[in-house]
Chains A and B, each alone.
Chain A
Amino acid sequence: MPAGEKRQGTLASMLRIYPYAKTAMPRLYLGMAAALVAAVVALVIPQVLRALVDGPLQDGDSSQIWWPVVAVLGLGSLEALMIWVRRAFVLQPATGIESRMRNALYTRLQDLPVSFHDRWASGQLLSRMLSDINLVRRWLQFGLILLVVNSLTIVVGLVFLLSISWVLGLVFLVCSIPLWIFSYLFENQYAAVARRSQDQAGDLATAVEESVHGIRVLKAFGRGSYALKGFATQAEQLRGTELAKARAIANIWFWLLLVPDVTFAISLLAGVWLAAAGQLSVGQLVAFFATATVLRWPVESIGFLLSMTFDARSATDRYFEIMEAPNTIVDPEHPKQITQPEGRLVFHDVHFRYADAAGDTADLLDGVTLAIEPGETMAVVGVTGSGKSSLTALTTRLYDVTGGSITLDGVDVRDLLRSDLRQRIAMAFEDATLFSASVRDNVLLGKPDSTDEELSEALDIAQADFVFQLPNGIDTLIGEEGLSLSGGQRQRLALARAVAARPQVLVLDDPLSALDVDTEALVEAALRRVLASTTALVVAHRPSTVMLADRVALLEHGKITAVGRHSELLATNEHYRFVISSLDDEDEELRA
């Protein structure tokens, strides 16, 4: 039976939360126990009423009325107390599980390779981090507990009903069978929509993120209303899904309300008939209805508890899609050490292709072999899209090679701990990312324990002395939450960051593109001092950047086709001239 399999699926799916819940389980059980006591107490109160109606009230003995009143009062207080106890027990574990899941997700996301982040829209990650985990917490806090307790309450209530009158109890039991059928059907109807709604909410979050991050482009082209139109379409889809959910809920609600009503009507008929036939006392009849009334809520609640469970289930699925995503770039089992750090970076027949590249294309890097000697500065030159940036990303394992190997001082980079590798090789990216933190923290990202001298030296090399003119100098908050800096300023800080990390190998991806000629010259002069003793791999688009390098490697069709000094290559290699020289005819004329 497919529905049965799916139900298993839900249970199995939810069980994956168990590792996060393990330590919290005792308290969750206690919470359930307290909830159960509260539910049973709520069921016992009608029994007291029955005793009262059948006993003292029949006799007209008013002195006998006190003890049932006290009992109701005591039981009523106990019920309230147990609800409080249940909440007190469940609160810490549920929020604890929530926190653990959230931290684990964040840790996992930071650990997953860049290729994962390329594939996943950020809004989908965000919606998992916040709303999906919140759903799971709420389910643990209420859904799970109430589902268990209400089911048990129904069972206990049925026992009470059967004990009051087995005929009426049986009527009740038989009449409730359709409910179970409808609940099964409901899962089929609801589960898929629940998942769709969460996915669409994630897409909507992505649209929001992009509209904010791309605000300048949207403004520059005046496309705010165009973006709004796209967003509205997505929001409209989500609305459609939510309404489909509402229709499914309305459907189950209908049955959950109707079936008990029919049951009550039949019970009334049967009950009065039995009483008329003398097989049932009035007190029993009263107690039956009082108990059945108490059971109404647990029965009706099945509807929203089920929808909550399916919501939580697809939230769990979405969560574990990330937690169980294969991590292809991990630390080696037996990490090696570099015994004699010199900074020799060697590419051995390196192949690389993006996992989702079309099958019939050649590898982006198709056998790169290149040796960078300790202390040497190597520039890499090639046309846009030739794989220069990918090549630099391979050195610190932001991506892994798909063939061949890269060694640092003779050790395959995959045999080093990632933290060790990334401490030895520091990068400056094309688009400089600054975090919301002080200038100091941003620059010392790779080596937080550096001294102020080291900091100012790095700033000095990158010609980033503008930071001293900022309102709070190097303690000025920059990045998104602070001062916004120009492209050139950001790039200089990113460069300072790479330098401050004091790595054995510096990998610079077009580090000076946003600088003006004067500043560039100053940075280069300073950088040369550093590069004299540091191995460096520099992606260059300009002759001026190439000037930093001892040798230049030309990347063409995924291979290194030439290595040599700038002047040599300029003289001998036509493709090199095409890539690096802007002295075309027109310029020549201008010069002449």
Chain B
Amino acid sequence: MSDTDSTLSGDSTVSGVTGEERNDFNKVESRQIRDRSLKLLNSLLRPLWARTTLTIAVVVVSTAAQVAGPAIIAFGIDTGLPAALDHRWIPLGLAVVGYLFTGIIGAVLIAWYTVLSARIGQAILFDLRKRVFRHTQRLSVEFHETYTSGRIIARQTSDLESIRELLDSGINQLVQSGLYMLFIAIALFLLDWKSGVVLVIALVPLAFLTRWFASRSQLAFRETRVTSARLIVQFVETMTGIRAVKAFRKEKRNETGFAGLVQDYRAANVGAIKLFGVFDPGLVLIGNVALAVVLLIGGLRVAAGGLEIGVLLAALLYARSFFAPAQEMAMFYNSYQAAAASLEKISGLLEERPGVPDPTRPIDLWEARGDLRFDGVEFGYGAGKVILPNFDLELLAGQTIALVGSTGAGKSTLAKLVSRFYDPSKGTISLDGVDLRMLHPKDLRRAIVMVTQEAYLFSGSVGENISLGKPGASRDEIVGAAKAVGAHEFISALPDGYDTDVNKRGGRVSAGQRQLISFARAFLADPSVLILDEATASLDIPSERLVQEGLQTLLADRTAIIIAHRLSTVAIADRVLVMEHGRIVEDGTPADLISGTGRFAHMHAAWRDSLV
């Protein structure tokens, strides 16, 4: 075969989130996916080994106590009863006391064990939740722009949910049932080895059945993961865009689409449950047949006088008990398969390497001056066309630069490169002589802040949203920032002022007000380099005027890059750069350029005309 391991390294087919909606993996790919899932599982369990060991010890003892039950009853009937007939009550007393003792031990330990295993399960979940969240934050903007938010949400909600289900009940079932079966098998062998052999033989069809279930259910559960993620994607999109949905009467069309996804999800679930619907009674059947066989060979021996009735009874009780936990094991296996499908997806997401990686040996920059340099920078999105070809530029510390030019000239791209949403494909961008790729992330983010047109508010109060710029800021600082950008007035007018919840009680703020809040955020962050990418677009003129006044002070001692279609901001700039097709075509002070005859002079004239 040509598909050898060497040619199919699989690196491009299933690494990260690539191919996560597929369900037709070849052997190499399957192994790769399984390996990364197991690696993740391993790393989650490793810190918990001491606790896990304790838990297993508790289960071993408690299960032993439980298993002793039937043996004690057999003892009570076989030894206690004849003795009682002779008026000797001690054996019976022993049996009763022993039974009580084991019962109490078993109950106490199992209760303890329930709490212990919940601790382990919750610790794993907590760890995993944080890892996924942290990793999501680390992944580049480029990744987020191609990987739907709904799918990341699905990874962090429904996929984690199925792992939670496994941890909630599954581990109990596995350890307890496994041990229970083992103990019962040992007890049965000690009691009557011939009956024990029957059980061992019964394990053969059991193994075949399990194998069949394993291979089929893996596919089925993968399907449920994919379909539930699609469901979540559509749901989140509808709820996020509910105004547009209503305004354009998309409800009916959405319903049809959603119903289709619900149907797919249902079909996937039915497929998975059906498999278990064969597996489960299959186990019962194997168990009952084994019971009949134990009865047959035991009964024949009792009839022939070769076996005590009590022993046969105990053997039968054991045989029956042996298969009861087998069903629980099956349930565990079922949850395990479901969780494994989720773990595949999550481990894939965690495997994604951030496109904009943190430096391995970061350079600290405690006090940034704000000198920005572009040296031979080249950049294009993905494999698309080059937006910035061989770009050189130097921005001196403290300068306020207005970046103008038509849509698609590369202004926003420049801003995204400076704030390191993306890395250039060639050349370097440096802050105070330090390549941004080498700069310590915390210093980079403290030094360079970007405010965009999209002013997202998180749930919480207005004050909390502003303090995102500087976590732990005092109320005075927050109010000061709001005052500086002219947001104080409208915030004070909200029902609870700065404590108004943005989702509740009149916290609905207009797009313009959201922008003011994000300005206050930036003000509070106090960066050395501030980038305003169309940050004033939604402001009305009085607000813009207030912001302008604030900007004068805000930008006084820092480097600022202002991208604006409205040229009102340009007046306060020290330097205007006109961009065209990824190149600087004009560069000078506003006054020089306006008095000239170039593009900027034309743009400025057009803008003046638009004002009246």
Contact = CB atoms under 8 A, between A and B. Distances in A.
Interface string A387-419: 011000100101000000000000000000011
A80 B108 contact: no
Contacts of A384: 490, 510, 512-513, 516, 539-540, 542-543
Contacts of A232: 126, 130, 133
A519 B607 CA distance: 12
Interface stretch (A15-23, A184-192, A271-279, A528-536): A271-279
A92 interface: yes
A446 to B, nearest CB: 4
Nearest to B85: A276
23 contacts: A45-B320, A65-B296, A65-B300, A76-B285, A84-B281, A96-B266, A208-B153, A215-B137, A220-B450, A228-B133, A231-B129, A235-B126, A260-B103, A272-B84, A289-B77, A426-B248, A513-B538, A517-B567, A517-B610, A518-B603, A542-B541, A542-B566, A580-B541
Interface string B265-299: 01001100110111011101101110110011001
Given A88-B277, A422-B249, A109 B313 contact: no
B210 interface: no
B480 interface: no
B243 A268 contact: no
A465 B25 CA distance: 42
Given A235-B130, A286-B309, A513-B538, A272 B77 contact: yes
B378 interface: no
A265 B446 contact: no
Contacts of A518: 406, 603, 606
Interface stretch (A1-9, A155-163, A247-255, A341-349): A247-255
Interface in B511-527: 511-513, 516, 518, 521, 525
A317 B218 CA distance: 33
Contacts of A245: 118
B107 interface: yes
Contact of A83 (B169, B240, B281): B281
A94 to B, nearest CB: 9
A517 B280 contact: no
Contact of B239 (A117, A382, A418, A435): A117
Contact of A448 (B125, B126, B253, B541): B253
A396 B170 CA distance: 51
Interface in A538-563: 541-544, 547
B395 interface: no
A272 B76 contact: yes
A222 B446 contact: yes
Closest 4 CB pairs of A and B: A222-B445, A76-B288, A261-B103, A246-B118
Interface stretch (A146-154, A365-373, A452-460, A583-591): A583-591
Contact of B543 (A141, A273, A383): A383
B458 A210 contact: yes
Contacts of B521: 221
Nearest to A50: B313
A513 B543 CA distance: 14
Contacts of A489: 407
B490 A83 contact: no
Contact of A265 (B103, B138, B442): B103
A361 B497 CA distance: 13
Given A53-B309, A208-B157, A221-B525, 20 more contacts: A64-B303, A87-B274, A87-B280, A91-B270, A106-B258, A213-B240, A226-B468, A227-B133, A236-B126, A246-B118, A250-B112, A253-B114, A261-B104, A272-B77, A354-B508, A480-B237, A488-B407, A520-B565, A578-B542, A590-B571
Given A130-B158, A212-B149, A276-B84, A264 B299 contact: no
A257 B176 CA distance: 14
A266 B99 CA distance: 10
A214 B540 contact: no
Contacts of A385: 490, 493, 509-510, 512-513
A445 interface: yes
A114 interface: yes
A126 B122 contact: no
Interface string B531-568: 00010011111111100000000000000000001111
Interface stretch (B11-19, B46-54, B140-148, B178-186): B140-148
Interface stretch (B188-196, B228-236, B359-367): B228-236
Contacts of A60: 303-305
Contacts of A501: 248
B228 to A, nearest CB: 7
A121 B157 CA distance: 15
A239 interface: yes
Contacts of B247: 396, 398, 422, 426-427, 429, 446
A293 B320 contact: yes
Given A110-B242, A236-B126, A261-B100, A231 B612 contact: no
A325 interface: no
Given A222-B445, A489-B407, A543-B611, A582 B545 contact: yes
B41 interface: no
A219 B516 CA distance: 19
A118 to B, nearest CB: 6
A433 B240 contact: yes
Contact of A268 (B95, B104, B110, B316): B95
Interface string B475-493: 0000000000000001001
A446 B248 contact: yes
Given A219-B421, A269-B96, A65 B303 contact: yes
Contacts of B248: 422, 426, 445-446, 497, 501
Given A91-B277, A122-B236, A224-B138, A68 B295 contact: yes
B321 A269 contact: no
Contacts of A118: 503, 508
Contacts of B102: 261
Nearest to B607: A517
B540 A383 contact: yes
A95 interface: yes
A414 to B, nearest CB: 15
Contacts of A265: 96-97, 99-100, 103
B511 A242 contact: no
Nearest to A580: B541
Contacts of B108: 254
